[in-house]
Amino acid sequence: MAKDKKEDKKLEAKETDNNKVTKNSYSAEDIYVLEGLEPVRKRPGMYIGSTGVDGLHHLIWEVVDNSIDEAMAGFAKNVTVELLPGNKVSVTDDGRGIPVETHKQTKKSALETVMTTLHAGGKFGGESYKVSGGLHGVGVSVVNALSEWLKAEVCREGALYSQEYERGEPKGKVKKVGVCKQTGTKVTFSPDPKIFLTLEFNPKKIAEHLRQQTYLTKGVRVNFLDRREKVPQLHGFYFDGGLKSFVNHLIRNEKSLQEEIFYVSKDQEGMNVEVAFTFIDDMEVKELSFANNIYTPDGGMHLTGFRSALTRSLNAHARGESYLKEKDENLTSDDVREGLVVVVSVKLREPQFEGQTKARLGNPEARTAVEAVVNESLKEFLEKRPAEARRIIEKVLLAAKARKAAKAARDTVLRKGVLDGLTLPGKLSDCSSRKPEESELFLVEGDSAGGSAKSGRDRRTQAILPLKGKILNVEKTRLDKMLSNQEIRSLVMAIGTAIAEEFDISKIRYHKVIIMTDADVDGAHIRTLLLTLFYRYFKEVVSSGYLYIAQPPLYRVQSGKEVRYAYSDQEKEKIVAEIQKNKAMKSTKKETKDDKEEDGQATGEASLEVQGGGVKGVGIQRYKGLGEMNPEQLWETTMNPENRTLRQVEIDDAEEADRLFDILMGDEVQPRRKFIELHALSVKNLDV
Ligand code: 0RA
């Protein structure tokens, strides 16, 4: 994803050699020449992370970054991304256009140099912030190297210039091919099928990325056009409010406690600091942070700076206005962040991304800058809006109080040893094996399905825990209340890890915890409740890959002695078609061979329900619930490791999961109703 350290050093060295002074105007000389593109094609993963679907999309992010840079520098106003037929993508902006004049060092056009040399990039004048050097910013040449074909078009000084490349090699020189009234750059490329495992772009993913980038770059308009369909799909993004709009988007299914979102954008110590936040009625914290428009999932100095300022300002205000008395303890950072939704974005000259995945901003100056900006403007915000301030302070005081009460209750619960694991729940039919690696726990909806599972299972390795009806809605429930719920206590004890401070993944009793529910809306609801529980309280069980969803069949299709199971409508159709084809072939054979036995098999079909008369001689049974299967069928289709399909639950998009849980479990009724109406038919969407 990012270039390695050695290359970083090389880049620095060249920069000091060639560019001792930062100039205010750009010329072709300012492009540093480093190396060719062979290393990129040899080890694409080093530059774009992977050659899978993420790496493929990385190509787009890379080209878009360059255009967004041009917008951040104040020269471009519009960026358009188009998905074209034949796995092509184009990115167009109305910036200054990549320079085309001849570069002194290489004797080539600057455009060609930018497109064909690794790390070649331009230095803009003083006030812009180049993204290069970050997680993205490996340069458009990387995209060129990994494209089987690429065309760069530049409008500058009244002319249209163009150059094409194949796998990074120029096909001829930069040519003047027309005239232009405006200026700008257009890059069109098709990713190399020799490099990528998939060429399938995901429009949803692209739209989401562009939406995010638009929030982060105030004043830019980003259009996204999917032109692969007959009727092109257009998404236009433009957010006047910048991060304020971002926060509004994040809380779209929630009620804000504040009338007005806190917002500040200020230049400080040579960097731009932008912060927006509000509080919602929730216990979770949602913090998103960015450095130079690059998402920093692990936070870093900018986020730390924000947190200190928030805690400090709220304590100061609470004391000043006597919400906190002299004897009262200060509010903690955890207290003041409950229900917080914040986006912090900094733009700085030389971002340092740290950690294994370069997911954390390391620059200490980002901490002081954000802290100073937020301290100052939050003080003013609270003083100017006493009503807003009161709502916030009351919320955090309540959080502090609840936290203390919950801790006391939790300590009592934990001390009582309810979760010691010595007392396995009576409802659990445990397996005989004591090796977690081979043990499986089935969480089964309802007692009757639980019974079938119990008699159908492999007793040695498979344990069954039937769960009654809807387990407790855990979204807004404190741990102490949750643990007073019998179903949840059984579950926690069966799993063996305990919970909260006592949680210990190494104590897990099963390496497969399998949610097995009916394939209907109720089943989906229970599954979502369980997923919520795991997501909120047993995240490590999920991230360790121990949580699964069983996939019971939807249909049983029988023809003669042959029984097959279908897990979707399409699969059912396919199976029926296959059977009929086979039958047609067999009946031709029969004419010659007169195979009586096969004839005999066919009579067995009479006992089966024949669907609508449309599918002659094929019996189709639709399963509405697990309870309709006898133990053998349940074993054969859903539990037997030899035949079954399990879906491993991943939290690859934790934010999306979180949002879904909030919609389904939260206080707001409208979005939940909308969601259920929308997805009632496609139950699959409930699987996070
Ligand atoms: C360096 C210098 C100048 C423009 C650009 C880079 C530039 C790069 C890209 C990449 C995509 N869109 C872009 N737009 C502009 C212009 C310097 C000048 O004209 O003074």
Mark whether 297 and 318 lie in a shared domain.
yes
Average pLDDT over residues 55-63: 95
* Domain termination residue (choose one: 237, 255, 272): 237
Please, where are the H alpha helices in 321-434? 333-337, 364-384, 386-415
Rounded to the nearest 10 degrees, the angle between the axes of helix 243-250 and helix 203-216 is 130
Mark whether 248 and 181 lie in a shared domain.
no
Average pLDDT over residues 205-209: 94
Mark whether 27 and 69 lie in a shared domain.
no
Residue 492's pLDDT band (cuts 50, 70, 90): confident
Q: Answer whether residue 676 shows pLDDT above 70.
A: no
Residues 179/162, Cβ–Cβ less than 8 Å? no
Mark whether 251 and 381 lie in a shared domain.
yes
Q: Is residue 414 part of a domain?
A: no
Average pLDDT, the chain: 82
Ligand 1 neighbourhood includes 96 CB (under 6 angstroms)? yes
Q: What is the pTM of this model?
A: 0.64
Percent of the residues in the chain that have a pLDDT greater than 70, as a whole number? 78
The 10s digit of each residue's pLDDT in 250-286 is: 998 888 999 999 999 999 989 999 999 999 988 889 9
End-to-end CA separation in angstroms for the chain:
27
Task: Tell me, in angstroms, the distance from the centre of ligand 1 to residue 260's CA.
Answer: 38
Q: Is residue 571 part of a domain?
A: no
Mention every residue, 6+ apart, whose C-beta is less than 8 A from residue 489: 418, 419, 425, 483
Average pLDDT over residues 101-130: 68
Task: Tell me, in angstroms, the distance from the centre of ligand 1 to residue 66's CA.
Answer: 8
Q: Answer whether residue 87 shows pLDDT above 60.
A: yes
Ligand 1 neighbourhood includes 141 CB (under 6 angstroms)? no
What residue owns the CA closest to ligand 1's atom 10? 66
More confident residue, 444 or 671: 444
Residues 629/446, Cβ–Cβ less than 8 Å? no
Percent of the residues in the chain that have a pLDDT greater than 90, as a whole number? 54
Mark whether 214 and 315 lie in a shared domain.
no
Q: Is residue 576 part of a domain?
A: no
Predicted local distance difference test score (pLDDT) of residue 669: 62
Average pLDDT over residues 420-432: 79
Residues 487/401, Cβ–Cβ less than 8 Å? no
* Domain termination residue (choose one: 237, 260, 287): 237
Q: Answer whether residue 8 shows pLDDT above 50.
A: no
Ligand 1 neighbourhood includes 67 CB (under 6 angstroms)? yes
Mark whether 405 and 465 lie in a shared domain.
no
Ligand 1 neighbourhood includes 445 CB (under 6 angstroms)? no
Ligand 1 neighbourhood includes 113 CB (under 6 angstroms)? no
Predicted local distance difference test score (pLDDT) of residue 417: 56
Rounded CA separation 531/610 (Å): 38
Task: Tell me, in angstroms, the distance from the centre of ligand 1 to residue 572's CA.
Answer: 56
463: its two tokens:
């344990």
Task: Tell me, in angstroms, the distance from the centre of ligand 1 to residue 99's CA.
Answer: 6
Provide the residue range defining the domain that includes 219.
42-237
Ligand 1 neighbourhood includes 503 CB (under 6 angstroms)? no
Predicted local distance difference test score (pLDDT) of residue 19: 34
Rounded CA separation 636/453 (Å): 11
Task: Tell me, in angstroms, the distance from the centre of ligand 1 to residue 160's CA.
Answer: 15
Mark whether 519 and 633 lie in a shared domain.
yes
The 10s digit of each residue's pLDDT in 503-562 is: 899 999 999 999 998 877 777 777 877 887 888 788 899 989 999 999 999 899 998 888
What residue owns the CA closest to ligand 1's atom 6? 98
Q: Is residue 615 part of a domain?
A: no
> Measured in whole angstroms, how far is the alpha carbon of residue 658 from the centre of its chain?
10
What residue owns the CA closest to ligand 1's atom 8? 98
Ligand 1 neighbourhood includes 558 CB (under 6 angstroms)? no
Positions marked catalytic: 445, 518, 520, 522
Task: Tell me, in angstroms, the distance from the centre of ligand 1 to residue 100's CA.
Answer: 10
Q: Answer whether residue 614 shows pLDDT above 80.
A: no
What residue owns the CA closest to ligand 1's atom 19? 96
Predicted local distance difference test score (pLDDT) of residue 615: 54
Ligand 1 neighbourhood includes 70 CB (under 6 angstroms)? yes
Average pLDDT over residues 462-466: 95
Q: Is residue 340 part of a domain?
A: yes
Which of 66, 117, 183 most suits a substitution to test ligand 1, by most atoms within 8 Å of the C-beta?
Answer: 66
Q: Which of 148-157, 235-244, 540-549, 608-617 is modeled with the greatest confidence?
A: 148-157
| Strands ordered across the beta sheet of 440-445 | 462-467, 440-445, 512-516, 547-550, 646-648
Q: How many domains does the chain have?
A: 5
91: its two tokens:
């990115």
Ligand 1 neighbourhood includes 523 CB (under 6 angstroms)? no
Atom of ligand 1 nearest to the CA of 122: 1
Average pLDDT over residues 324-346: 94
Which of 26, 96, 143, 187 most suits a substitution to test ligand 1, by most atoms within 8 Å of the C-beta?
Answer: 96
Q: Is residue 671 part of a domain?
A: yes
Predicted local distance difference test score (pLDDT) of residue 479: 65
Ligand 1 neighbourhood includes 80 CB (under 6 angstroms)? no
CATH number reported for the structural domain that contains residue 512 in this entry = 3.40.50.670
More confident residue, 39 or 369: 369
CATH number reported for the structural domain that contains residue 400 in this entry = 3.30.230.10
Q: Answer whether residue 317 shows pLDDT above 80.
A: yes
* Domain termination residue (choose one: 409, 442, 476): 409
Ligand 1 neighbourhood includes 95 CB (under 6 angstroms)? yes
Q: Answer whether residue 646 shows pLDDT above 50.
A: yes
Q: Is residue 83 part of a domain?
A: yes
Q: Is residue 291 part of a domain?
A: yes
Predicted local distance difference test score (pLDDT) of residue 644: 92
Q: How buried is residue 671: exposed, middle or buried, by Cβ count under 10 Å (0-12/13-18/19+)?
A: middle
Q: Answer whether residue 297 shows pLDDT above 80.
A: yes
Ligand 1 neighbourhood includes 99 CB (under 6 angstroms)? yes
Which of 22, 24, 26, 129 most suits a substitution to test ligand 1, by most atoms within 8 Å of the C-beta?
Answer: 26
Residue 355's pLDDT band (cuts 50, 70, 90): confident
What residue owns the CA closest to ligand 1's atom 20? 26
Ligand 1 neighbourhood includes 491 CB (under 6 angstroms)? no
Please, where are the H alpha helices in 227-293? 243-250
Residues 523/517, Cβ–Cβ less than 8 Å? yes
The 10s digit of each residue's pLDDT in 481-491 is: 777 777 888 88
Mark whether 529 and 459 lie in a shared domain.
yes
Q: Answer whether residue 608 shows pLDDT above 50.
A: no
Q: How buried is residue 18: exposed, middle or buried, by Cβ count under 10 Å (0-12/13-18/19+)?
A: middle
Mark whether 631 and 539 lie in a shared domain.
yes
Task: Tell me, in angstroms, the distance from the centre of ligand 1 to residue 11's CA.
Answer: 20
Q: Which of 106-120, 363-377, 456-470, 493-507 is modeled with the greatest confidence?
A: 363-377
Task: Tell me, in angstroms, the distance from the centre of ligand 1 to residue 522's CA.
Answer: 56
Atom of ligand 1 nearest to the CA of 25: 20
CATH number reported for the structural domain that contains residue 83 in this entry = 3.30.565.10
More confident residue, 473 or 16: 473
H or E, element range at 489: helix 486-495
Residue 663's pLDDT band (cuts 50, 70, 90): low
Mark whether 521 and 632 lie in a shared domain.
yes
Task: Tell me, in angstroms, the distance from the centre of ligand 1 to residue 4's CA.
Answer: 26
Task: Tell me, in angstroms, the distance from the centre of ligand 1 to residue 151's CA.
Answer: 16
